[in-house]
């Protein structure tokens, strides 16, 4: 990764049509892919408590995601920062409902049913194949970001309108 100044990209907000489009398979890890990955890392870091971001959210329709739940209190299991190209869930087990937010849906949260444990296959920035098995909050974050690559949002996953909630904004001064 380069050490140049961080590039914070604008995050697309629903109903931007690019959020509903399937992203393309990455054929080769080249400079463009590395640059998009770095922008995702930098853009995620600029958002407080953000645990994941997918390339379509910055308007790039390629199958690249970044997830890092390591500093989140709900994460019992963490692989640190995962930069994943062409991630694909190869196995999953169990199901659980949990509350999710999304940078592209700043006004709401939703209860979403996800697998409790997943195994995924992906390619890393060094072009090596990677298998990740994880559970709980990290598995949930990965499923959320992989959904973005198929144009699926938490609005689409919520079982009914009753499972969608307005995000409560803090009214404290200085926040
Ligand atoms: Zn999202």
Q: What is the distance in A from the centroid of ligand 1 to the CA of 134?
A: 19
Query: Please, what's the b/e burial string for 87-115 (b: 16 or more CB within 10 A of its CB; e: otherwise)?
Result: bebeeeeeeeeeebbbbbbeebbbbbebb
**Which residues make up the environment of ion ligand 1, defined by Cβ < 5 Å?**
102
| pLDDT tens track for 73-120 | 999 999 999 999 999 999 999 999 999 999 999 999 999 999 999 999
Three-class SS of residue 143? helix
pLDDT reported for residue 168: 79
Whole-number Å distance, alpha carbon 82 to ligand 1 midpoint, is 16
Read off the pLDDT of each residue in 140-150 and give the average, rounded to a whole number. 98
What number is the average pLDDT over the span 138-163?
97
- Catalytic residue numbers, as ranges: 145
Sign of CA dihedral 175, 7, 18, 101: negative
Please indicate, yes or no, if residue 111 is contained in any of the structural domains: yes
What's the DSSP call for residue 24?
B
Question: Whole-prediction pTM value?
Answer: 0.94
Residue 174 lies in a domain: no
- Rounded to the nearest angstrom, the distance between the alpha carbon of 39 and the centre of ligand 1 is 16
Tokens of 24: 């393309």
With cut-offs at 50, 70 and 90, classify the pLDDT of residue 174. very low
Q: What is the CATH number of the domain that holds 44?
A: 3.90.45.10
Ligand 1 centre distance from Cα of residue 131 (Å): 22
65 in Cβ contact with 55 (< 8 Å) = yes
- pLDDT at position 171 is 57
Number of domains in the chain: 1
- Residue entry with tokens 């904004």: 169
What does the pLDDT look like over 23-53, one tens digit per residue? 999 999 999 999 999 999 999 999 988 999 9
């Amino acid at each position: 990764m380069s050490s140049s100044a961080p590039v914070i990209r604008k995050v697309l907000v629903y109903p931007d049509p690019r959020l509903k489009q399937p992203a393309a398979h990455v054929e080769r890890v080249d400079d463009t892919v590395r640059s998009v990955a770095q922008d995702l890392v930098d853009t995620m870091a600029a958002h407080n408590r953000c645990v994941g971001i997918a390339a379509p959210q910055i308007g790039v329709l390629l199958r690249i995601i970044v997830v890092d739940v390591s500093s989140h209190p709900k994460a019992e299991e963490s692989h640190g920062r995962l930069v994943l190209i062409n991630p694909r869930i190869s196995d999953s087990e169990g199901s659980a409902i949990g509350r999710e937010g999304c940078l592209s849906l700043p006004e709401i949260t939703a209860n979403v049913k996800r697998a409790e444990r997943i195994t995924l296959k992906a390619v890393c920035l060094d072009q090596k194949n990677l298998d990740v098995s994880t559970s709980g909050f990290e598995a949930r974050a990965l499923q959320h970001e992989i959904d973005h690559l198929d144009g699926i949002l938490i609005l689409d996953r919520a079982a009914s309108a009753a499972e969608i909630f307005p995000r409560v904004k803090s009214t404290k001064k200085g926040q």
